[in-house]
Amino acid sequence: MQIRALLVLCGLLAALSGLPGCANVLNATTSQAGYTVQSDLRYGEGRRNDYDLYIPNNAGPKTPVVVFFHGGGWDTGNKDQYLFVGQSLASAGVIVAVPNYRLYPSVKFPDFVEDGAKAVAAITRTVTNGQAGVPAGRHPIFLMGHSAGAHIAALLNYDERYLKAVGTSNRRISGFIGLAGPYDFLPITYPRFRQIFPVPLWEQSQPINFVGGGEPAALIINGDADTTVVPRNAQSLADTVKRKGGRAELKIYPGFGHLKVLSALSTRLSGDSDIRETILAFIRHHS
């Protein structure tokens, strides 16, 4: 399929059905070469406590690992939609883990963040100990997510309580990469989100409230045409990190909406922007 036609089809499907339609197109045109996939690995006992692991054929004991948390408003989404993300980074020599986590209405905040912490701890053990086909070693670990997944990754990066509760810490993390994430979204007005985030926990749900300045470096990406998660969230987090003396790189892409900053990761579409190369350069620099 020609790139222009693929872009048009993805845009149409995204408008009609959100990410799933576009993801299906991207996944159907994604190469299966150069990496292997270990599917449905467990990090907990729950039905959604599993993850997929994308392993480059040339992976070694120091190959970086990205733990990618999917989006979907904390109430939808599935790891199976993100083959194109796994392939995009694995084809560049990065191991990628894509976990599921429990969703509303089965759980509310902070349960899905606690799932994320358990996933990071389990994935870190897996790659360190050389399980699931990964060479044992001291692999740099990066937290990455899109939309609601970026919110989860950010809380794990900045609120040290989650990783400490599962026997690790953000000192084991080499960097955080956020795509179109909500980091500073009070007051919560949308009725469904008011159910997901109980009022007494609002302040605990905001990543900006936990920035101390000494956390792992951040790459914060948003589109200026994003009306789902407005770019003020990205700007606020970057400004807060820098004000506290931390490390944050902010990239705002003109004309990019909520899904385009993610679909640009596809190797079929990566020529549409430098998002993929910016992410890979960040990983290389902080590994």
pLDDT digits (tens, 9 = 90+) for 230-267: 999 999 999 999 999 999 999 999 999 999 999 999 98
Q: Per-residue pLDDT averaged across 15-39, rounded? A: 73
User: Looking at residues 266-270, what average pLDDT do you find?
Assistant: 78
Quote the strand ranges of the chain, DSSP E.
Answer: 35-42, 50-56, 65-69, 95-99, 141-146, 173-179, 217-223, 248-253
Nearest residue to 30 via CA among 22, 38, 41: 22
- Say whether 61 sits in a helix, a strand or coil: coil
pLDDT per residue over 31-52, tens digit each?
777 899 999 999 999 899 999 9
Judge whether 74 and 104 are in contact, CB under 8 Å. Answer: yes
Which token pair is 126? 């897996």
Q: Tens digits of per-residue pLDDT, 210-235?
A: 999 999 999 999 999 999 999 999 99
For 45, counting Cβ atoms within 10 Å of its Cβ (0-12 exposed, 13-18 middle, 19+ buried), the class is exposed
Name the nearest CA neighbour of 51 among 18, 91, 100, 95: 100
Residue that is written with structure tokens 């054929």 in the block: 57
Kindly indicate the confidence band of residue 271, based on its pLDDT and cuts at 50, 70 and 90. low
Average pLDDT of the segment spanning 52-78: 98
> pLDDT > 70: what percent of the chain?
90
pTM of the model: 0.92
Which pair of tokens denotes residue 135?
Answer: 């060479």
Q: Please name each of the domains of the chain with its CATH number.
A: 3-286 (3.40.50.1820)
Higher per-residue pLDDT: 82 or 21: 82
Contact present, 203 and 209 (Cβ < 8 Å): yes
pLDDT exceeds cutoff 80 at 12: no
> How many CB atoms within 10 Å of residue 146?
30
Residue 97 CA to residue 83 CA, distance in Å, equals 11
| CA distances to 9, 43, 141, 213 from 161, in Å | 43, 19, 18, 16
Q: Is the pLDDT of residue 9 over 60?
A: no
The whole-number average pLDDT for the span 84-98 is 97
Answer for the pair 215, 155: CB distance below 8 angstroms, yes or no. Answer: no
Per-residue pLDDT reduced to its tens digit, 102-123: 999 999 999 999 999 999 999 9
The Cα-based distances of 64 to 1, 95, 119 in angstroms read: 32, 6, 16
Distance CA 43, CA 120 (A): 9
